A and B are shown apart, each in its own frame.
Chain A
Amino acid sequence: MSRLVLEHLHCWYGQTHAVDDLSLVVEDGELCVLLGPTGCGKTSTLRMIAGFVRPASGDIYLDDRRINDLYPGDRNIAMIFQSYALYPHKTVREQFAFPLKASKMSAQEIEKRIQETADFLHMHEFLDRYPAELSAGQQQRVAVGRAIIRRPKLFLMDEPLSQLDARLRVEMRATLRRLQQDLGITTVYVTHDQLEAQSVADKIVVMRSGRIQQVGSPLEVYRHPANIFVASFIGSPPMNFLDCRLERRGGQIFVRNDHFVFALEPALAQKVENIPPEKRLVLGIRPEHIQLSPEAKASAIPAEVYVLEPQSNELVVDLKLGDLALKMQGDKREMGFRPQLGQTVWMEFQQEHLHLFDKNSEVCII
């Protein structure tokens, strides 16, 4: 059982406020991903948890015990790095044994744990091989094995898949996810790759400039982004953003900009009733929530097909609407027609997936 609690952590590098008042709870057995672009403070946070960096202020608790003042080696935390940092001249068996020998465990107990770990990771046949004789996936398992053999309370992983090629990364993330679930070890995982984050996480913490933007399940941060930053960071191709205002006419509420106007469905209209018409808003709609039709429809907005990008069974269509550019994405089989370059098509937004943001604060309204 281990639960990690971070309270009001701050970290400074000179004049740079690398982590700014970060509070977070990672529940027992949970895999929590710290996600954000370079410089967002995710790795600094990880280093504070590991004990490599001292927070300027704030507390770190592991199982209700404050660990701020413990040395990294005394925190019972295991780390897995980008390059697995395996000892090149040691066999798998020796890699596994090394951290145990350092803690002066009996030879018998060490052998027992090596066998258990090899069982768990299906590594028996590789115990006498050197890292150079192993595939990338096997090396990863060795790194995991070396970390779990100590039975740590907490796993910290810093971009553990970033060295692998795209194909292997997609495969290894599922393996890693399953392994962590089987082990049930509380894990904090750092990545800049939003697809990887969605794939492995129970909980995603989206960070920017040292501050938490949103904490939620992969589905929550995708469906209900807290602000424009999260909305644009999660999902690929990214959400389309269009400046707009609201307009009231004949008991209905319309979304308007220079290029289009459409009526909000009653459920949405209700939510924006109190927004004054002069308020500057940003409409957000994801490429997968735009529908295209080759024929004119009353409620639809005409646009021009600008670029076509096939994407496996899907098609990404770049659309031009005056000086605005949008992307839509759809399953080729379900689109019902093949858009042609230069063609005028009619697009409709799936309103249950439509977002409105405050242009000034960038905070999500609906």
Chain B
Amino acid sequence: MASIVLENITVRFDRQDVLKGVNLAVDDGELCVLVGPSGCGKTLVLRVIAGLTQPVSGNVYMDGQLVNDVPPGDRDIAMVFQRFALYPYMTTRENWAFPLIAAGLPQEEIEARIKAMTEFLHMGPLMDRYPRQLSGGQQQRVALGRALVRRPKVFLMDEPLGSQDAKMRVEMRAKLKKLQMDLGITTVYVTHDQVEAQAIGDKVAVMEGGIIHQVGSPEEIYDRPATLFVAGFVGTPRMNFLNCTLCRESDGLYVRHPLFEMAVPPDKAASIETAASSPEVIVGFRPENIRLSQTEDVGSIPAEVYVLESQSNKLIVSLKFGEDILKMQADRDRLGFELQVGQKVFLTFEREFAHVFDKQTGQRIN
């Protein structure tokens, strides 16, 4: 049982704030993913929780207890790194026994725990092998097992799938998620891969430049990104961004772009107008929220097919749209017609899925 609360954590290196007042609450048993580009401070948050880095200000609580001054070894935390850091001259069994012997557990207890973990991770035939005799995926399980046999209160994982190939990563992330759920150990998981973050997290915290932009379920950060950064970071191909202007007309509020305009639904108009710091806004549409047609329709906008990319059952279409290149993605079978590079098509935005951001502040305003 362990919950983690970070309160206003600031970390400074060379007179520069690399974490700027980070607040985060991880509930008991939850898997919380910290995701962001390199240098965003995600690993640093992990190190603060572990007690390996001292913040200049702010508090760390575990189970409601202030642990700022508790040394790392006494926080009952297990870490799993990208490089598994297994002892090369120890077999799987010895790798697992080591932290338990160091903790002074009786022999029977050590054996019982190793036996249970062997079954849990299906490591039976691999217990007497050395790390070099194991595949990357197997070494991963050894590293996990070594952390798990200690039965820590909290798991910290730093890119634990980073050294696996793409296919293994997809397979392992589901297993890891299931394992974490079954064990119910509170986990903080760091990755730079937004696809992995969405797949594995109960809760995802998106970071950039030492701050947390948004904390939410994978659905929340994808369906309602709080800032321009989150909108651009989560989802692939990336959300399309269009520079637009808010215009108040006698019959309502409009979003205007050189090539089209959209009426803002009346129930949203007031709140958008209040939230906007200036009329300059950025409107975002995800690739799957753009529809294509061969013929002109009410409200459709002409564009030119610029690049076609096959993607299994889907097609990614880059469209030349004025000065911008937009990307749309659709199920091939559902598109209903063949596309050629250079072809003129008509696109329609699914307006109910528009994301509107303040250009100056980058904050979501709809």
Contact = CB atoms under 8 A, between A and B. Distances in A.
Interface of A: 37, 165-167, 170-171, 173-175, 177-178, 181, 193, 195, 198-201, 217-219, 222, 234-238, 286, 288, 306-307, 309-313, 316, 318, 327, 331, 341
Contacts of B233: 167
B70 interface: no
Contacts of A234: 312
A311 B173 CA distance: 13
Contacts of A193: 166
B219 interface: yes
A307 B313 contact: no
Contact of A222 (B192, B286, B310, B327): B310
A166 B236 contact: yes
B312 A288 contact: yes
Contacts of B219: 310
A349 to B, nearest CB: 15
B312 A222 contact: yes
A236 B196 CA distance: 13
A310 B222 contact: yes
A154 to B, nearest CB: 22
The winner among B181, B233, B306, B313 for most chain A CB atoms within 10 A is B313
Interface of B: 37, 165-167, 170, 173-174, 177-178, 181, 192-193, 195, 198-200, 217-219, 222, 233-238, 286, 288, 306-307, 309-313, 316, 318, 327, 331-332, 341
Nearest to A174: B307
Judged by DSSP, the binding face of B is: mixed
Contact of B222 (A165, A201, A312, A341): A312
Tell me whether chain A's interface is mostly helix, strand or loop, or mixed. Answer: mixed
Contacts of A200: 309
Contacts of A237: 170
Contact of A199 (B167, B198, B222, B316): B316
B230 to A, nearest CB: 13
B306 A178 contact: yes
A306 B309 CA distance: 33
Nearest to B309: A199
A286 B313 CA distance: 10
A316 B178 CA distance: 14
A217 B318 CA distance: 19
A275 B198 CA distance: 43
Nearest to A217: B310
A255 B218 CA distance: 37
B37 A165 contact: yes
Contact of B198 (A175, A177, A235, A310): A310
Contact of B341 (A181, A201, A235, A238): A181
**Which 3 residue pairs across A and B have the least CB separation, nearest first?**
A218-B310, A309-B199, A310-B218
Contact of A310 (B199, B237, B310, B331): B199
8 contacts: A175-B307, A198-B312, A238-B170, A286-B312, A307-B174, A311-B198, A311-B199, A312-B222
A313 B313 contact: no
Nearest to A169: B236
B236 A167 contact: yes
B200 A174 contact: no
A277 B359 CA distance: 66
Residue among B177, B218, B237, B307 having the largest count of chain A Cβ atoms under 10 Å: B307
Scoring A193, A237, A286 by chain B CB atoms within 10 A of each residue's CB, the highest score goes to A237
Given A236-B167, A236-B170, A312-B222, 16 more contacts: A165-B37, A170-B237, A178-B306, A181-B307, A199-B309, A199-B311, A219-B332, A234-B312, A235-B312, A288-B313, A307-B181, A309-B173, A309-B199, A310-B198, A310-B219, A331-B288
A222 B318 contact: no
Contacts of A318: 174, 178
B35 to A, nearest CB: 12
B19 to A, nearest CB: 22
A174 B316 contact: yes
Given A167-B236, A237-B170, A312 B198 contact: yes
Contacts of A199: 309-311, 316
B188 to A, nearest CB: 19
B166 A313 contact: no
B177 A307 contact: yes
B177 A171 contact: no
B200 to A, nearest CB: 7
A145 B332 CA distance: 34
Contacts of B286: 312-313
Contacts of B195: 166, 311
B236 A170 contact: yes
Contacts of B307: 174-175, 177-178, 181
B318 A178 contact: yes
Nearest to B329: A313
Nearest to A318: B174
Contacts of A306: 178
Interface centre among B222, B236, B238, B306 (most CB of A within 10 A): B236
B69 to A, nearest CB: 38
Given A166-B193, A166-B236, A313-B222, A236 B166 contact: yes
Contacts of A286: 312-313
Contacts of B199: 309-311, 316
A208 B158 CA distance: 33
A331 B193 CA distance: 21
Given A236-B170, A309-B174, A312-B235, A198 B222 contact: no
Nearest to B314: A288
A201 B308 CA distance: 10
B265 to A, nearest CB: 20
A306 B179 CA distance: 11
